[in-house]
Each structure stands twice: as structure tokens, then as C-alpha cells.
Amino acid sequence: MKMTFRWFGEGNDTVSLDYIKQIPGVEGIVWSLHDLAAGEEWPLERIEEVKSQADKHGLNIDVVESVNIHEDIKLGLPTRDKYIDKYKKTIEKLGRVGVKVICYNFMPVFDWTRTDLFKEMGDSSTALFYEKAIVENMDPMELVNTISTNPDFTMPGWEPERLAQLSKLFDAYKDVSEDDLWNNLHYFLEEIIPVAAANDIKMAIHPDDPPWPIFGLPRIITGPESLRRFVKLVDSPSNGITLCSGSLGANPINNVAEMIREFADRIPFAHIRNLKRYENGDFIETSHRSKDGSVDILEIMKAYHDVGFIGYARPDHGRHIWGEKCRPGYGLYDRGLGIMYLWGIWDSLERYKGETKNVIN
């Protein structure tokens, strides 16, 4: 397992490369060019600049998260080909500097969705929170009207530029079914997977977060059945999965450890995080410790160890603790603690090979 840590760039993050380098076992950063809009071709000089910054700290840039996909590709519009061509050129440039994995998602309009960025947890820490009733009862058109009269309005996890186009996007998706989205994803993969393979890069789709439809928009990467369908769209080692325990674990019917074992040869990148589910469908993100949440991180790490996982992993979202002011979900302290918890499990499994049942029970 190759441990990494997400970094949002110089001047765009409170977590410096020097701090990341001090976390035991971290080999590289998970990065992106966050200021570039979806659909733009990435300039080689910008890519090389990030590599130079990481090299100075002895960190690799093997994993990119994300090269975002333009909505015209998801919608299957005639203009998609020009954006796919730019995507191919970006893949080629990333291959030239040694990138090995590109994480992306195919969620319409919104990426991850939460209703509270800093929900109190009862111990002075805060975390990302999803209240199901708020999302289910929110009329998208009322939201559009709110935005039109209040340009400063925002919602957790929703980029301002997307909010500004919300009415247009909802209208564009009104007749798009799940099958349509699957077909558009298939078209995209058939175009880009050969380019990724030629450049020794594995594409790794991120599951939908949360893994169910919101606001009437289709969501298609939600559990084992959809992952089986996905890997068959283009049967190539370069067509892979970012196995996110938090996204998939939000749905209690998903057994994440079983999915790791089933799709082991198609997981180049792992997001490992925990959350606590409530019976009404709400959930809050917790520490990585198994006992603190509803996702069995111990069993997940055992599954990765059992399959001989040699891909990349990172501690995903963490709490905000010790008064840290940070990007929601991406504090240094709790993710650093998370890494040490994950390494503790992994090292124990390594030490007691052949006796792993006794180690985790």
C-alpha cells in the first residue's frame, strides 16, 4: 500500500508540503489544478510546476484528483468531442511527468453533497454532515430562485460557478435517464481508456457521494451491481475504481470489504474514511477508528491486506479538531491521526501474517 495525502496547492491550503512530508509513511500527494474549469486542457508548465514543488520535499505526484469532466460529456451533447479531445491531451501531459492514477467522477451537476460543513459532534470537534430530509424536501427550482435573488448564496460542496448555472443545468438534465448517463459514460471511456493505457495511467472513477439520486438527477456509481456494470464497459486494467469507503458506506446495504475483495484487480486508488449512519438516513463523518462510526475500517484494511493491495491510498475526510481552521473535511490533524490508525492496523496484519483472524477479533 502506497500512502498519500491530499494537497490543494500552495496558497490554496493550510497544509504545507513540509507538514505532509512529516507524516510517517506518506510517499506522495494527491493533487489537481483546482483553478481550472472542467473541460480545460491542462498546461504542461503548470503540471511541471507542481512536480517541481513536490520533488523538493521528496514526494511523488503519482495520483491526480481530479481532472473534472465537462457537463457536455455527461449530457452526451454534440460538443462533447472537443472536450474529450482536451481530456486526452491532458492525460498525455500527465503521463509525461509520471502520473499513474487519475481519479474522476461522473456525477451530474454536483459532486459531494452535504448540508452542514461544521456540525458539532459533542466534544468540540466538528465534521461534515448530511441531513437527508433537507435534501429530499428542497425544491430545486426554489433553490434557483434563491440564487437569482441572492448572488452570495452558497451550499456546502457546491461550487459558485455551478450554482450560477443551476437553472440551465437542471433543464439540460430533465430528460436524462440513468441509461442515458451510462451510455454517455461508455462513450467517454471508449475514447479515453486507450489513451490512458498508452500513457501507463489508470483511470479510477469515484463513487457517487451520497450513493443515491438527489434532486431528481441520476446517480449510477452506487454499489456492487453498478461497479460490475462499470468495469465491463471497457474491459481494461486502465479502467479502474477509486474505492471510497465513505461514499459507498453511506448506504448500509453496501459491504465495502466485500467490494474490495471482488474488484481488487481494478482498484488503483483507495479513499479510506469512516462515518456514522443514522436510522433516518442522515450521516456524519467521524474519526477513522472503527468504533467511532458505522464503517468497519478494521475489516476494510484486512480486505486490502488479504488481496495484496499495492495501489495508492489516502485518509479521506476527517473531523476538524483542536481548533484548527481548515478546508471543510480536510484538516491536517485528524487525517494525520487517521493515517497512523490505518498504519497501525496494516503493521499488525503484516507482523502476524497467518494469524490475522486473532489480530482483528
Catalytic residue positions? 206, 244, 271, 316-317, 330
Kindly report the CA angle at 255 between 254 and 261, in degrees rounded to 5? 130
Query: What are the CB-based long-range contacts (under 8 Å, 24+) for 170-173?
Result: 170/109, 170/140, 170/141, 170/144, 170/215, 172/71, 172/75, 173/75, 173/108, 173/109, 173/217, 173/218
- Distance between CA 59 and CA 29 in Å, rounded? 7
Is residue 360 within 8 A of residue 313, CB to CB? The reply is: no
Residues forming a β-bridge with 29:
5
Is residue 88 within 8 A of residue 191, CB to CB? The reply is: yes
* Three-state secondary-structure class, residue 172: helix
| Residues counted in the chain | 361
CA 108 to chain centroid, in Å, comes to 15
H or E segment and range at residue 230: helix 224-233
Is residue 248 within 8 A of residue 211, CB to CB? The reply is: yes
- Distance between CA 223 and CA 66 in Å, rounded? 21
- Distance between CA 106 and CA 100 in Å, rounded? 20
